[in-house]
Amino acid sequence: MIFGDPITVILRIPALLWGISLHEFLHAFAAKMVGDPTAERQGRLTLNPLVHLDLFGSIMILLVGIGWARPVMINMRYFRNPQRDIVIVALAGVVGNILTVVVSVLLFRYMGFRLTGGGLVLDYAGMNSTAGRMLLQMILVNVALTVLNLLPIPPLDGSKVLYAFLPFRALGYYYSLERYGMIILIVLLVTGLIRVIFDPIFIRVIMLLM
């Protein structure tokens, strides 16, 4: 299984620390580049995972494969072009996860590993290789972070991307959902509704990559 046994959970920790730290660091870096110093002032312009981890969100990623980090705070009043800059900042973290996936897949294949199976059951040549299993977790975690964050659900990054395309009248209403974003996300996780959207996309991406 992709998620579950204790060894897999342990091997997932480095992937989790890297994926979340890079994602949030790039949000902070992109915000600084478009004129917003808020994240830098709050000490988020770093790859130190302790700064970015949310305890409950991290536990959820380790155990069920879906979770979150501490969100990077931004102030759109600093943006020179708010409609453009919010998209840049939102996508910056996802770009880091995608690049991690690409590098990890290349290494996975270069080392001779091959993924087989379907659905949520995966196997590969070299299953007993620690390096292979760690690379697999790096791929799975970063694909999961990418897919989850691109969903257009507040407060995920995908909701920020929609800001650039929504009509003005809908923008205010959609933006107001941000204050309830974490509650919405937890309800979707607890009820399992988010997996109805997440799982098919996640599995399809993994199959295409491997």
Q: Which residue has the higher pLDDT, 138 or 183?
A: 138
Catalytic one of 17, 19, 21, 24: 24
Give the tens place of pLDDT for each residue, 38-87. Answer: 999 999 999 999 999 888 877 777 776 677 788 899 998 999 888 889 99
Q: How far apart are CA 106 and CA 208, in angstroms?
A: 13
Q: Residue 23: is it exposed, middle or buried by C-beta count within 10 angstroms (0-12/13-18/19+)?
A: buried
DSSP character for 72?
A: P
3-state helix, strand, coil in the chain (%, to 5): 70, 5, 25
Nearest to 30 by CA among 99, 98, 78: 78
**Of the given ranges (16-20, 115-119, 135-139, 180-184), which has the lowest mean pLDDT?**
115-119
pLDDT at residue 162, as a whole number? 79
Mean pLDDT, rounded, of the chain: 83
pLDDT at residue 172, as a whole number? 66
C-alpha of 65 from chain center: 11
Number of H helices, E strands in the chain: 10, 2
Q: Catalytic: 178?
A: no
Q: Residue range 185-210: average pLDDT?
A: 85
